[in-house]
Amino acid sequence: MNSSFGSNPKVRFGLVVVTFFAALAILGPWLTGTVMGIDPRANDISAIASPPSSEHWLGTTQFGQDVLAQLIAGARGSMFVGVLAALIGTVLAIVFGVTAGYFGGRTDHVLNFVTNIFMVMPVLPLIFIVSGYLRGTGLWMIAIIIGVFGWAGGARTLRAQTMSVRNRDFVLAMRMLGESNPRLIGSEVLPHLGGWVASMFLSAMIGAILAEAGLAFLGISDSGAISWGSMIQAAQSQSAVLRGLWWWFVPPGLCIALIGTAAAMLNFGVDELSNPKLRSATRKVVRRTRRVERAVAAETRTA
């Protein structure tokens, strides 16, 4: 399993990109401060809205701030919100989904109902409203709001998976032997859900990064913090689009898209590894088989 996990090209791509951005988020201040020697907030009056150059690799903003330095600092902000919100969302999804799936009956009925309500609620507008009331709150609050409202989809998946694990013979036997439920959940059920939880966490992280970008774009994220979303918002509010300052708003959007793709690829790869039907449909397998078939056909013709 482990060797095939690493050898799946989709998984490898995802891992590399996510690791890269995680490293960027962790090493950000050191990179901008020590390596580049540029403060992402500092205003270089000599270079206002200047296109990419040897001095500013990705150009500068309307305020003379280095876009590359901001991008690195923004990675920290966006990743922070993504990870924290995903953490909260995953914990809630486990609490609701696993509990409902494991205990079944009335517990399941109630929890599943709550999950379904959250599922059909338009989450993004809801988050807008709440953060509208809590204006100017920090990235912490943003992450919490996103996490608290965005767990329903994951809970539903985990519920279905838990139900199937619960009905396996060994779990049923352990229950009959009087093993305590929390212990069983912790030692038997959760380990079997590892893959699902991981893939949920990744999707939640991407969802949160996108949501934060959306909120920042609306100007209701933390105005002091730098995130990819706030960069795009700043660009938009300074009419960067109108004035063609593409180096200001293109890079942060690309970063969001890249990390989103990486997480999707990871999920895709995990799907392929867990679903043999998908695995037999990869480009590699099909090409390999076709090549052999062609070779055989050619041989038959010449023979």
Partner 1 sequence: MSAPARTETRTLTRSSPHEAVLEVRDLTVDYIGPDGAVTACKDVTLSLRRGEILGIAGESGSGKSTLITALTRLQRPPAATTSGSITFHPRDGRAGIDLVGLSPRELRRLRWSTMSIVLQSAMDALNPVMRLGDQFADVLRTHYRDLDRSGARDRTTELLAMVGISADRARSFPHEMSGGMRQRATIALALACEPELVVMDEPTTAVDVVMQRQILAQVLRLRRELGFAVVIVTHDLSLLLEVADRIAIMYAGRIVEVGTASALYRDPAHPYTRGLRDSFPPLHAPLRELRGIPGTPPDLRRPPSGCPFHPRCPVRVEACQSTLPALVPLPEQEAACLLLTSEENP
Partner 2 sequence: MTVVTDVSAPAAPTTRLRVPSRWAFLARRLGFYLTAAWAAITLNFLLPRLMPGDPSVAIVDQLQRVSGRQLPPETLVSIQTLFGDPDANLAEQYLAYLGQLARFDLGISISRFPTPVADLVASGLPWTLMLVGTTTVLAFVIGTGLGVLTGWKAGGRFDAIVTPASTFISSVPYFWVALIALWVFAFELRWLPSSGGYDPDLEGPAFWLSALRYGILPAATIVFSAFGGWLLGMRNMTVTTVREEYVLLAQAKGLSPSRVVLRYAARNAMLPSFTGFALALGGVIGGALLTEIVFSYPGIGYLLYDSLTKRDYPVMQGVFLLIALTVLLANLIADSVYVFVDPRVREQG
297 binds partner 1 (CB under 8 A): yes
- The stretch among 49-57, 199-207, 251-259, 285-293 that binds partner 1 (CB under 8 A) is 285-293
Residue 175 CB, shortest distance to partner 2, in Å, is 20
- The stretch among 9-17, 66-74, 186-194, 283-291 that binds partner 1 (CB under 8 A) is 283-291
275 binds partner 1 (CB under 8 A): no
Q: Which of residues 73-92 bind partner 2 (CB under 8 A)?
A: none
Distance CA 293, CA 274 (A): 28
Residue 141 CB, shortest distance to partner 1, in Å, is 47
Cβ distance to partner 2 smaller for residue 134 or 184 = 134
Q: Name which of partner 2, partner 1, none residue 257 binds, using a CB cut-off of 5 to 8 Å depending on partner kind.
A: partner 2
Q: Which of 214, 221, 230, 247 binds partner 2 (CB under 8 A)?
A: 214
244 binds partner 2 (CB under 8 A): yes
Q: Which of 83, 185, 213, 226 binds partner 2 (CB under 8 A)?
A: 213
- The stretch among 125-133, 227-235, 267-275, 288-296 that binds partner 1 (CB under 8 A) is 288-296
**Nearest to residue 40, comparing CAs of 252, 218, 215?**
252
**Nearest to residue 58, comparing CAs of 214, 219, 209, 231?**
231
CA distances (Å), origin 225, targets 70, 163, 230, 264: 10, 42, 8, 27
CA distances (Å), origin 267, targets 112, 200, 272: 25, 9, 9
134 binds partner 2 (CB under 8 A): yes
Q: Name which of partner 1, partner 2, none residue 300 binds, using a CB cut-off of 5 to 8 Å depending on partner kind.
A: partner 1
Q: Which of 6, 107, 224, 287 binds partner 2 (CB under 8 A)?
A: 287
55 binds partner 1 (CB under 8 A): no
* Contacting residues toward partner 2, per CB under 8 A: 109, 112-113, 116-117, 119-126, 128-130, 132-135, 153, 156, 160, 164, 206, 210, 213-214, 217-220, 229, 232, 235-236, 241-242, 244, 246, 249-250, 252-253, 256-261, 263-265, 268, 271, 275, 277-278, 280-287
* Contacting residues toward partner 1, per CB under 8 A: 280-281, 284-286, 288-290, 292-293, 296-297, 300
